[in-house]
Structure 1
Amino acid sequence: MHSTENQTPRTLGDLTWHDSAACRSTTHHQVDPEIFFPEPDEMDRIRAAKALCAQCPVRATCLDAALENGDRDGIRGGMTEEERDPLHRKLHRRFDYARVNEVLAGRDIHLTQAERDAVVIAAYHAEVPAERLAWLLKFTEEHAEKLYRNIRREIRNRAVDQKKKANKGKKKPKSPAKELKAPAAETPARDDLGTAA
């Protein structure tokens, strides 16, 4: 996740969070939208925009929306374009179990590929029908069945590999024929030879 705020991920296409945004102009609270598009050297405008963002109850949602939509212009979620740039570059690696669980519960939210893969694995283990998985992730039932086959194969291969490793670590027992063999005769020590007559 990109922020420390606890939030429920927004559904795809949901813009209702705009109604709660601190930057939304109303008759009693006028906000100039240009304040969120300062030049890099306009420090007063940047501070003013960030101060407004700091009071915003949907700041984390705004930031997520900017990242998920590839919106690189202006101040979003309390961050400048330059501050968001590393987050934009790392977004594909985002992994959040809360988002995975939301999709499994039927919510339509933006997921990274790693999160989509986790949905498939969790659905497989929960024995979610392929038809339901297809609906959750918006692809065909045939594709869902293929993904389930791949998971079954991976689980089977992992079990075979673990068995091989376990067998490799065990010592082979001695064969009974070797254990019954008489020990080699001991060579007498020099003192036991006696003396020649």
Structure 2
Amino acid sequence: MIERFSLPGTISAMHTDTISPGGLDWQTQALCAQTGADFFFPEPGSSVREAKRICGMCEMRPACLEYALANDERFGVWGGLSEKERLDIRRLGNR
């Protein structure tokens, strides 16, 4: 289950030692678990449109985004937001 969030050839993008308040049960129900990581971790400069479309239909999107923000995920699309969009949220929160 955790490998689907890993970038090929890198250390897992998901931190198994940090768990969101609701646990990680949302991952098994998330649509990304059924589609594969390629959409959610595209090559640099590639479109994230398809990942965002899938996230938009996923009931687990809020939990996923909460996890990504709480654990400072810096790669891929999480909760329907790209790396840059999550960075913008973190910056706004630090003001």
Q: What is the TM-score when the length of structure 1 is the normalising length? A: 0.35
Per the alignment, residue 11 of structure 1 pairs with 21
**Could you give the per-residue CA deviations for residues 60-112 of structure 1, whole angstroms, max 9, x where no partner exists?**
1111100001111100010111111111224457xxxxxxxxxxxxxxxxxxx
Per the alignment, residue 83 of structure 1 pairs with 85
Q: Distance in 1 between matches of 2:62 and 2:81?
A: 10
Per the alignment, residue 49 of structure 2 pairs with 47
Q: Give the partner amino acid of 2:67.
A: A
Per the alignment, residue 38 of structure 2 pairs with 34
Relative contact order (alpha carbons < 8 A, sep ≥ 6): 1 or 2 greater? 2
Residues 62, 77 of structure 1: 8 Å contact kept: yes
Identity of aligned residues (%): 38
Q: Give the partner amino acid of 2:27.
A: H
> Which SS does the other structure have where 1:35 is aligned?
coil
1:57 Cα offset (Å): 0.1
Q: Does residue 60 of the first structure (1) align with residue 62 of the second (2)?
A: yes
CA RMSD of aligned residues (A): 1.9
Which ranges of structure 2 fall in alignment gaps of 5 or more residues? Answer: 1-19
Per the alignment, residue 33 of structure 2 pairs with 24
> Which SS does the other structure have where 1:34 is aligned?
coil
Q: Which has the larger radius of gyration?
A: 1
Which ranges of structure 1 fall in alignment gaps of 5 or more residues? Answer: 1-9, 26-30, 94-197
Q: Give the partner amino acid of 2:39.
A: I
Per the alignment, residue 192 of structure 1 pairs with none
> Which SS does the other structure have where 1:37 is aligned?
coil
> Which SS does the other structure have where 2:32 is aligned?
coil
Runs (4 or more) in structure 1 with deviation over 3 Å come to 90-93
Residues 67, 91 of structure 1: 8 Å contact kept: no
Q: Distance in 2 between matches of 1:91 and 1:63?
A: 15
Count of aligned positions: 76
